[in-house]
Amino acid sequence: MAEKAKISRFEWWANYHSEVWFGVVLAIIVGASTFLARFIPDAVYDQVLTPAFNAMTFTVAFVGAWLIFRHSEGLLARRIWGFTLLTWGLGDLFYLVCYLVAPMQVMNMGATQLTTLELMVGNLLGWMMTLYPTATLRPGWLTWRIVVIQIVPMMLLAFLDYLIPLDLWPIVALYPYGLFIMVLTHIRAYRRWCENNFSSMDHIDTQWIVRYSIMFFIIGANYVYMCSGHGHERGFTQQWFVIFMLAYSTEQILFRKDPWEDVMVKGDRLSVMGDGAPVTGDGLPEKTMEADREKLEAWMAAEKPYLNPEFKLMDLREVLPMNRTYLSQFINDTYGCPFYQFVNRYRIEEAQRLMREHPDMRLSDVATRSGFSSRESFARTFTQVTGLSPREWGKNV
């Protein structure tokens, strides 16, 4: 148990440094590329850097797609990211081939705004960047019907911008932004779903969506800026940042464990994510619920499964043979709280018992022996439940 606490503290420290390095690299790429672009002649950018960037981007995209598909582990969200990488790579390969072989001009550098082709390609790629977080935050929601509903208006707007004299590019360029904002509305449901299935949130990464959002909005803002006139200064920054986002996101997706991998069993439906709460049906008979409640509480008191930091909702099937949806519904209906809070009540009671019986025990040991994966998580949860910090509560015993 002590080893688990050490691992948790190390992971917290590693995650902290991960956030810092992400911010530092992000600032360097944006700042340095914007500054250096001022000193690059147009001829050098058009004849040397543009094909070089296209080659680097499709290389990163193709290698990333190969890694993702090889390690997709049957997860739809990963396969979606793999197809996103393939699309980016094919797009840049197309531009490179046109530049080197075909006489057509596909990038009208220095124009007052993007061409219709560039606008459509940019929006298509922007839309595809919204698919992975959607599939991750709300599994089971993204269907072919949703995909068609999202992409058809975008294509119609792009064609209207080409056909009619009205200047619609601001609406077209901002369309992916609107879709991504809709994606962010799923964060609350995602967190509630996690609380309904896990007794500890320490090993569940929710910061990935923050990092992904930052990168998406930087690329989107620069894309909108390029729509009004995309000289090589803006393109230089955009291309460096696209390479960084594709590589960084691929690395994160390969090594970030999706939480529902641990709780899904055959026959479960991912669509219960709908509003973040369990799907309710006709409910369970009152007598059955009371019997199950007594059985669960007797098991919790005798076996003390909450002392395991990895205790999950599906572990309750040892005493209550229900599927995940009804287990979650049962906990919420019976105790008026998600599984996460239900388990932590037991852990806090155990911690209080230890502090009363062993007043000299270190708080890190209290946290470990009461089922928390870290002292930080213990202190935070203890304060939320009791209104006092562990030290303040201990002084009043």
Residues 208 and 355 in one domain: no
Neighbours of 182 (CB within 10 A): 12
Residues 67 and 189 both lie in one domain: yes
199 found inside a domain: yes
What backbone torsions phi and psi does residue 21 show, to the nearest 5 degrees?
Answer: -65, -35
CATH number at residue 211: 1.20.1070
The sign one gets for the Cα dihedral 352, 355, 356, 358 is: positive
**343 and 308 share one domain:** yes
- Same domain? 235 vs 306: no
Query: Could you say which of 262, 291, 317 is where a domain stops?
Result: 262
**Identity of the highest mean pLDDT range in 170-184, 245-259, 260-274, 284-298:** 245-259
CATH number (domain holding residue 330): 1.10.10.60
Torsion-angle region of 308 (φ positive above 0: left; ψ -120 to 50: alpha; else: beta): beta
Tell me if residue 198 falls in helix, strand or coil.
strand
Asked whether residue 301 is domain-assigned, the answer is: yes
Do 241 and 342 reside in the same domain of the chain? Answer: no
Whether residue 16 sits in one domain with residue 81: yes
Top-ranked range on mean pLDDT: pick from 41-55, 146-160, 199-213, 372-386: 372-386
pLDDT tens digit sequence for 156-173: 776 776 676 666 666 667
Report residue 387's pLDDT band, with 50, 70 and 90 as the boundaries. Answer: confident
Instruction: Tell me what pLDDT residue 287 has.
Output: 57
pLDDT-derived band at 321, boundaries 50, 70, 90: confident
Nearest in space to 157 (alpha carbons), one of 133, 183, 176:
176
Domain range spanning residue 340?
278-395
Query: In terms of Cα–Cα distance, which of 230, 225, 220 is closest to 107?
Result: 230
Structure confidence by residue, pLDDT tens digits, 336-370: 899 999 999 999 999 999 998 888 888 888 888 99
53 shares its domain with 124: yes
pLDDT at 148: 86
pLDDT of 61 over the 90 cut: yes
Is 190 contained in some domain? yes
Does residue 316 or residue 271 have the better pLDDT?
316
195 and 325 belong to one structural domain: no
Q: Does one domain contain both 168 and 219? A: yes
CA 333/CA 144 separation, integer angstroms: 34
Q: Which of 262, 293, 308 is the last residue of a domain?
A: 262
Q: Span 113-133, mean pLDDT?
A: 77
Mean pLDDT of 68-89: 88
Q: Which range has the worst mean pLDDT, 27-36, 37-46, 242-251?
A: 37-46
Per the DSSP assignment, residues forming a β-bridge with 198 are 312
Compute the average pLDDT of residues 50-79: 88
pTM of the model: 0.74
Q: What is the pLDDT of residue 7?
A: 38
User: HSE on the CB side for 281, CA within 13 Å?
Assistant: 8
pLDDT in tens, 93-116: 888 887 777 654 544 444 445 566
pLDDT of 396 reads: 76
Same domain, 35 and 177: yes
pLDDT of residue 72: 82
Output the pLDDT for position 277: 40
Whether residue 270 is contained in a domain is answered as no
Is 272 contained in some domain?
A: no
| pLDDT of 264 over the 60 cut | no
Q: What is the pLDDT of residue 86?
A: 93
68-77, 179-188, 252-261, 319-328: least confident range: 252-261
In a domain, 45, yes or no: yes
- Of the candidate ranges 91-100, 229-238, 308-317, 385-394, the one whose mean pLDDT is the lowest: 229-238
**What is the rounded average pLDDT of the residues 377-381?**
86
Cα 58 to its chain centre, rounded Å, is 24
Closest to 173 (Cα-Cα) out of 218, 137, 122, 102: 122
Q: Is residue 378 part of a domain?
A: yes
Q: Per the structure block, which two tokens stand in for 170?
A: 């601001």
State residue 110's pLDDT score: 42
How does the average pLDDT of the chain come out, rounded?
A: 77
Tell me what the mean pLDDT of segment 24-29 comes to: 83
What is the spatial distance between Cα 221 and Cα 373, in angstroms, rounded to a whole number? 40
Query: DSSP secondary structure string, 89-122?
Result: HHHHHHHHHHHHT-------TT-SS--HHHHHHH
Would you state the pLDDT for residue 261?
59
pLDDT at 181 over 80: yes
Q: Where are the alpha helices (DSSP H) in 129-275?
A: 131-137, 144-163, 169-184, 187-195, 208-227, 232-255
Indicate the helix (H) or strand (E) that contains 125: helix 116-128
pLDDT at 268 over 60: no
Provide the number of structural domains found in the chain: 2
Residue 221 in domain: yes
- Average pLDDT, stretch 34-40? 79
Helix (H) or strand (E) holding 343: helix 339-357
Residues 315 and 245 in one domain: no
- Residue 312's DSSP bridge partners are 198
- Domain boundary (231, 262, 293) is at 262
Same domain, residue pair 100 and 131: yes
Q: CB-based contacts of 161: which residues, under 8 Å, 6+ apart?
A: 116, 119, 167, 168, 169, 172
